Amino acid sequence: MDRPLRLISTNPLDQLARTVEALLVVASAPLPVTELADAANDDPERVEAALGLLGERYREGRSGIVLEHVAGGWALRAAREASEACARLFERPAQRNLSQAALETLAIVAYLGPCSRPDIARIRGVAADSAVANLVDRGLVVEAGRDDAAGGAIRYRTTPLFERVFGLESLSQLPRLDDVGADADQIRDRLHAVAEKRSA
């Protein structure tokens, strides 16, 4: 019943953009296009177009507010030029003082997740319990079911907050890590050499 009225209005996309803008202001987490479309009661394609208009208006250097595509949705954030002022106003516990162990654990969960603490320990060679607990406290990883085996270990995956903190649209934005293949070959050759000596 709303549709015909919109068609009559002179600049419907601009009106939709204002609605989307309002939705983004009240949201506390990135909103996917589908969710914006449901709330605005409009087509996803038109919402995308409206987001294009807003992206032009809210971009770095033009406004104190920036529209970004992050963690599978759209969200407003502060412009980078205001970051110092923002830092004086509040801190961000999710990313403060992330240790090397925490970052390695986070990388394993992000690339191989969902994975369990034993999986992580197998790769890092040390127990992962405290690192995982620390990341859970920060809200960067979260429990995601259990291993299939009976009494399986709890598995973990990264959260939307992880994507947001690291500025990723999704996990698929993580870079491919096959550029260390040469290293693996080198290691393998040396081990083979040792093995040959051993069996000689």
Residues in the site for another protein, rule: CB under 8 A? 26-29, 68, 75-78, 80, 82-83, 86-87, 92, 94-95, 98, 100, 103-104, 106-108, 110-111, 122-125, 161, 164-167, 174-175, 177, 179-181, 183-184, 187-188, 191-192, 194-195, 197-200
Q: Which is nearer to another protein, 4 or 181 (CB)?
A: 181
The two beta strands, 73-78 and 115-116, are: unpaired
Beta bridge partners of 158: 141
- Rounded to the nearest 5 degrees, what angle is found at the Cα of 135, between the Cα atoms of 130 and 136? 95
Q: How far is the CB of 101 from another protein (least distance, A)?
A: 9
Q: How far is the CB of 48 from another protein (least distance, A)?
A: 21
Q: Which is nearer to another protein, 19 or 166 (CB)?
A: 166
Beta bridge partners of 142: 157
Q: How far is the CB of 184 from another protein (least distance, A)?
A: 3
> 117-124 and 100-112 helices cross at what angle (nearest 10)?
120
Q: Which is nearer to another protein, 45 or 189 (CB)?
A: 189
CB distance 77 to 83 below 8 Å: no
Q: What share of the chain is helix, strand, coil (3-state, %, to 5)?
A: 60, 15, 30
Q: Which is nearer to another protein, 148 or 183 (CB)?
A: 183
Q: How far is the CB of 4 from another protein (least distance, A)?
A: 25
Q: How far is the CB of 13 from another protein (least distance, A)?
A: 26
Q: Which is nearer to another protein, 14 or 195 (CB)?
A: 195
Strands (E) in the chain, as ranges, are 65-70, 73-78, 115-116, 141-146, 154-158
Local structure of 164: helix, strand or coil: helix
